[in-house]
Amino acid sequence: MIDSEHIALTGWYKSSYSGGDQGECLEVAPGRPDLPVRDSKTAHGPALVFSHRGWTAFVAAVKDGHIEA
């Protein structure tokens, strides 16, 4: 985990699959060698950082039903 304030050089983008206006949104900061992911409710809080390969594998596992979303 890292402090999300040190990432914002490229900007944060909300997932189109998140909970909309209920504040249940994930945000990502693409354009880096790694992929930071944070909770939009805690914009100044920590971010989880994934390798692109790790994030792709995680999303595929959720889509395939191996991990419950």
Q: 15-64: per-residue pLDDT in tens?
A: 777 666 666 788 888 887 888 898 888 878 888 999 999 999 998 998 99
**What residue ranges do the domains of the chain occupy?**
2-17+24-63
- How does DSSP assign 34-49, residue by residue? EEEEEEGGGTTSEEEE
Q: Is the pLDDT of residue 8 over 60?
A: no
Structure tokens at 28: 């990502």
Structure tokens at 43: 């914009």
SS3 25: coil
Q: Give the model's pLDDT for residue 32.
A: 78
Q: What is the pTM of this model?
A: 0.69
Residue 53: its H or E element: helix 52-63
Q: Is the pLDDT of residue 1 over 90?
A: no
